[in-house]
């Protein structure tokens, strides 16, 4: 579904991605784990067309997306839920969901049907539908962000730190929802600091360190990998990998 090859990216003169090559197959949950500053969010932004890449290719459903504007990439079916600024705070929950379907321009009947599917998935949102998004709890805002993305009918859903800042009980619910979305046929590329939970729900995982892919494998393989245990499932990560 998605194939990246030799992706480099820079902030000014500082290189943050170095020859990144990876792929995501239809129906998978693929996770990216790594320390803060390793380039995970930048990679998602490159895929979304929000950050330039000087070389390499990024092919989605056999279409080269390099150079495409972000809205064209969204129209192809790649939707990203960012780490911050997930929803429009002054707007109501319903208005946020409507904006999620903006590029598709569904008629009112279809829009209502699609909102009903979101409310079935997130019943709490139905109770809050007329509230400004800024009044929601952190978990509710994350659910709204996911619902807004689903209104765009993604083929590939990219999630950037969906559990960040949430209470442990809510974190468990969010990961359950991510798995449920995948069970419904949505392909997911997941960036997540909670490495243990990400590995548990992922079909495959890539480890990113200082802009390079340094390790990859199935979620279960990496859960049992001593380097991963030491780096991400323990307390002594120093950001150093053998290359």
Which DSSP string corresponds to the chain?
Answer: -EEEEEEEEEETTEEEEEEEEEEE-TT-EEEEE--TTSSHHHHHHHHHTSS--SS-EEEETTEE-TT--HHHHHHHTEEEE-SS--S-TTSBHHHHHHHHTTTT---HHHHHHHHHHHHHH-HHHHHTTTSBGGGS-HHHHHHHHHHHHHTT--SEEEEE-TTTT--HHHHHHHHHHHHHHHHTT-EEEEE-S-HHHHHHH-SEEEEEETTEEEEEEEHHHHHT-HHHHHHHSSS---S----
Mean pLDDT of 12-27: 95
Integer Cα distance of 39 and 242 in angstroms = 18
Buried b (16+ CB within 10 A) or exposed e, 84-102: eebbeeeebbebbbbebbe
| 69 and 173 part of one domain | yes
CB of 215 closer than 8 Å to CB of 206: yes
Beta pairing class for 187-191 and 204-209: unpaired
Phi-psi region of 216 (alpha: psi -120 to 50; beta: other; left: phi over 0): beta
| 94 and 184 part of one domain | no
| 162 and 237 part of one domain | yes
| 64 and 164 part of one domain | yes
Q: Which of 128, 153, 178 is the last residue of a domain?
A: 153
Structure tokens at 15: 């290189």
**pLDDT level of residue 237 (50, 70, 90 thresholds):** very low
Structure tokens at 72: 């064209």
**pLDDT of the residue at 60:** 97
Integer Cα distance of 53 and 132 in angstroms = 37
Where residue 180 sits, what CATH number does that domain have?
3.40.50.300
CB of 23 closer than 8 Å to CB of 79: no
| 162 and 135 part of one domain | no
Q: What are φ and ψ of residue 63, in 5° steps?
A: -115, 125
Mean pLDDT of 23-39: 93
Domain that holds residue 236: 1-77+154-243
Mean pLDDT of 94-119: 88
Quote the pTM value: 0.89
| 55 and 115 part of one domain | no
Mean pLDDT of 102-129: 88
Residue 43 has, within 13 A of its CA and on its CB side, a CA count of 35
| 97 and 140 part of one domain | yes
pLDDT value at 239 more than 60: no
Q: Which of 136, 153, 170 is the last residue of a domain?
A: 153
Q: What are φ and ψ of residue 19, in 5° steps?
A: 55, 45
Q: What are φ and ψ of residue 191, in 5° steps?
A: -100, 125
| 57 and 38 part of one domain | yes
**pLDDT of the residue at 16:** 95
Q: Which of 114, 132, 153 is the last residue of a domain?
A: 153
In the chain, how many domains are there? 2
| 72 and 158 part of one domain | yes
pLDDT in tens, 141-168: 999 999 999 999 999 999 999 988 888 8
| 30 and 144 part of one domain | no
| 243 and 168 part of one domain | yes
| 90 and 68 part of one domain | no
């Amino acid at each position: 579904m998605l194939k990246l090859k030799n992706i480099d990216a820079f902030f000014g003169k500082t290189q943050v991605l170095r020859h990144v090559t990876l792929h995501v197959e239809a129906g998978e949950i693929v996770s990216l784990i790594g320390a803060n500053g390793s380039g995970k969010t930048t990679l998602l932004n490159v895929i979304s067309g929000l950050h330039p890449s000087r070389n390499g290719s990024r092919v989605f459903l056999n279409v080269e997306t390099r150079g495409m504007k972000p809205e064209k990439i969204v129209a192809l079916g790649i939707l990203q839920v960012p780490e911050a600024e997930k929803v429009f705070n002054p707007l109501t929950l319903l208005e946020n969901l409507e904006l999620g379907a903006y590029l598709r321009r569904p008629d009112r009947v279809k829009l209502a049907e699609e909102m009903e599917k979101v409310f079935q998935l997130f019943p709490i949102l139905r109770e809050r539908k007329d509230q400004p998004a800024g009044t929601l709890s952190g978990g509710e805002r994350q659910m709204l962000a996911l619902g807004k993305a689903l209104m765009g009918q993604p083929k590939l859903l990219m999630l950037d730190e969906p559990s960040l800042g949430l209470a442990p009980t809510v974190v468990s619910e969010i990961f359950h929802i991510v798995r449920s979305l995948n069970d419904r046929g949505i392909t997911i590329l997941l960036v997540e600091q909670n490495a243990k939970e990400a590995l548990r729900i992922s079909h495959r995982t890539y480890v990113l360190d200082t802009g390079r892919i340094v390790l990859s494998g199935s979620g279960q393989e990496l859960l049992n990998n001593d380097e991963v245990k030491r780096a991400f499932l323990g307390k002594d990560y120093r950001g150093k990998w053998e290359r």
